[in-house]
Amino acid sequence: MSDNSVISTRVRLARNLKDFPFPCKLSPDGMEKVIEKVRSAVKNSNSSIASDFKFIKMSDLTEAQCVSLVERRIVSPEFISNTEGRALLVNSDESLSIMINEEDHIRIQAITKGLALEQTYDLVDKLDTLLDESLDFAFSEKLGYLTQCPTNLGTGMRASVMLHLPALEKSRAIGRIAGNLSKLGLTIRGTHGEGTEPKGSLYQLSNQVTLGISEKAAIENLKNITSQLISQEELARERICSNIDIQDSISRSLGILKYARTIAHDEALQLLSNVRLGIVSGQLKDVPLLTIDKLMTDVEPATLMVNSGKNLSAAQRDVARADLLRKALEEV
């Protein structure tokens, strides 16, 4: 079994400060105090990782910059819905971040490429320990870490993997799988989590249970189920990729990506998904998988504008997107 169906791994911890109301009840002055406490905890730490963090007040960002953070999975869609009284700490390679005053005072996140649940948890745990040295977290011996939403009580941990499941999607097996996963304490959602649709056959698989289970047990459970999903995807892939129509679709997709002059967002993601299927099934030999994975983020509308440094209309984005794809794939 290969893990090439996994794009990335993310682990997020919810924490709250003992002496402050939850963010939904915080005054603007209270929000600023929480921001300063978290910022100081990182800034004044003796840890070597602390100096790598950049501080961002969300209200200082443009709408495109905010949306791009969501597209790059650094922050949640909810976090940018109201930028007042919210701030972000993020390191240089964007693998570690801290959302301040989202649903909870603190959301600590680590994200890594591929399937790396233990490694990603270790990263987020180190950052949690760093903050715990100078911040007083709201904690109950009975309920664990206290969070605004009861579903996060206990560990406060949400671990997830971003999966590319085109074969299972084409086989129409996702609905059945989703129903079975809920019985195992897991959920499978769209590309950007709860309430979002899958684009480019990208699905987010995460744990649902945080109370009465340790972080290690939750991660082990997620890892086991991820392995089973990968195996199911590989079996489905073998079945569908022997079909000449699927093979033709893969080759045509690469051709369009290499030569088109204008490509809409959803079309680009579908074409990239088809090419990715061609790579992992062995049909396409000379296309780097990491290039395709990076393009799946870079073609997103806001990220496209942020990287170009321009405000672009939808039509202009379609042209810029096609230019980006041609240049990235010109030597393939």
Binding-site positions for ATP: 8-12, 107, 158-162, 189-194
DSSP-assigned states of every residue in 193-207: BTT---STTEEEEEE
Q: Which of 81, 105, 87, 99 is nearest to 22 (CA)?
A: 105
Q: Amino acid identity of 233?
A: E
C-alpha 274: how far from chain center? 21
Q: How far apart are CA 107 and CA 102, in angstroms?
A: 7
- Token representation of residue 27: 């005054």
Would you say 318 and 312 are in contact if contact means Cβ atoms under 8 Å apart? no
What's the first-to-final CA gap in the chain, in angstroms? 27
- Write the single-letter amino acid at 147: T
User: Kindly report the CA angle at 235 between 119 and 240, in degrees rounded to 5?
Assistant: 125
Nearest-angstrom CA–CA distance, 277 and 272: 9
Token reading at 108:
């600590």
> Residue 196 in contact with residue 190, Cβ under 8 Å?
yes
Distance, in Å, from the CA atom of 293 to the CA atom of 295, rounded to the nearest integer, reads 5
- Residues in the annotated binding site: 8-12, 107, 158-162, 189-194
